[in-house]
Structure 1
Amino acid sequence: HEFSAFLSISSRGELMNIRLMNKKIWFLILLEVAILSLFYFLIIRPQQIELRGVKIEVQEKETLYVKLSVLSRLIDELRQEKASIGESIDHFLKVRERGERGLVVPASLTDIFRESKVEVISIRPVPEKVEGTLLISSWDISILADYHQLGHFISRLERSADFNRIDSLSISSQGSSVEYRAQLVISRISLLKKEQDE
């Protein structure tokens, strides 16, 4: 009987120990959960928020970089267009300057007219031509002169240092008159200046 009572007391003690151990285990589990929760909310969660903010900032900077790249490309295109317009304006001004210069009758040609005593019917500048590095300025001339005056005029042109060639020449008589009508194109050839090449 005493032995049975001893076993009963031992069983109750073990049961109490098991219950106490279970309480300790649950307490440890709850403590671990609490520690993990604190670790998440105090360390991991702020880092996630910070990382999300960094990602947003990186995306904003990437968007800004794309916009700046587009803007830079537009600026380059505008600069190229500006340079092209500037070149076109320079070319136009040079062409106009050459055209205005071509409208002027060279003084040396006026002297030849006077010395030869020919009658100038018309003189018309021909549009300038560029052949390689050469600029060709020409004049279409119509004159009225007798045989000797015409010969002197042509001879004087051929000796002139200001005119390099006679491109065309046609002579027609004026019926019973001793005068002849001459139609000719004379040219002056010069080297293009560097700014004209450009």
Structure 2
Amino acid sequence: MNHKLLDKKIWWLIVVEVAALSLVYFLVIRPQQIELRRIKAEVQEKEALYARLAALSGLIDELREKKAAIGKTMDRLLKTRERGEMGLVVPASLMDIFRESKVAVISIRPVPEKAEGDLLISSWDISILASYHELGHFISRLERSADFDRIDSLTISSEGSSLEHRAQLIISRVSLLKSEQEKK
């Protein structure tokens, strides 16, 4: 009889142990496994995001370098364009001297600019028609002007009448190049 009672107790213990183990599995182990899978999936997502961000960071650095190179090219092109426009435009003060001196301007052609150190030399090849008196007045006004104008060459030839003479001049204006700080 003792033996039967012992068997019943063992069976009850086995049932209680199975129930306890089931409870431990369903209440502790299984939720932890689910949480572990969720954390692993989240870590994989974060690693994939980190890899994409690293690739984008490299791309951003490359784009910044390209932007800097394009910026330098644009600055160089703008400087070239600015210098080109300055060479094509005859300053208003020079045009005023033409008018005041009553000389007839036949042609004006820009001469390529030269940069010498911090100086920019803009030149024009100018052909005018005037009397000696008008030509002398023109040269005098040009040399007295507040701008740094100079006559690089002067050739005078007679036209049909002795009163009118054709003068071929190369006039230069010396100015300071703009520094990087002044441009900003």
Corresponding residue pairs, total = 176
Where does structure 2 lack aligned partners over 5 or more consecutive residues? none
User: Cα 1:32–1:93, aligned 2, differ >3 Å: closer, same or farther?
Assistant: same
Partners of 2:7 and 2:27 lie apart in 1 by 28
Distance in 2 between residues matched to 1:21 and 1:127, nearest whole Å: 120
Structure 1 contact 157–163 (Cα < 8 Å) conserved: no
1:155-184 Cα distance to aligned partner (Å, 9 max, x none):
332222123333x31425449975353231
Q: What residue in structure 1 maps to residue 98 of structure 2?
A: 113
1:67-146 superposed matches below 5 A:
67=52, 77=63, 81=67, 88=74, 92=78, 95=81, 99=85, 103-126=88-111, 134-145=119-130
Counterpart-to-counterpart distance in 2, 1:67 and 1:119: 71
Q: Are the counterparts in 1 of residues 103 and 134 from structure 2 also a CA contact under 8 Å?
A: yes
1:186 aligns with 2:172: yes
What displacement does 1:186 show? 2.0
Question: C-alpha separation between the residues in 2 aligned to 1:20 and 1:130?
Answer: 117
- Which among 153, 156, 169 is matched to residue 169 of structure 1? 153
Shift, 1:49, TM fit:
1.0
Q: Let me know the Cα RMSD of the aligned residues.
A: 4.8
CA deviation profile, 1:64-95 (whole Å, cap 9, x unmatched): 455566667767849x85xx67x949x75994
Unaligned segments of structure 1, at least 5 residues:
1-15
Distance 1:131 1:22 in 2: 115
**Deviation by residue 1:141-162 (Cα, 9 ceiling, x = unmatched):** 1224455554443333222212
Taking every aligned residue pair, what percent have the same amino acid on both sides?
Answer: 57
Residue 23 (structure 1) aligns with: 7
Distance (Å, rounded) in 2 between the aligned partners of 1:94 and 1:171: 31
TM normalised by structure 1 equals 0.56
1:40 corresponds in structure 2 to 25
Amino acid at match of 1:40: Y
Query: What is the deviation of 1:42?
Result: 2.5
Select the residue among 143, 151, 154 that pairs with 1:158: 143
Bigger Rg, which one: 1
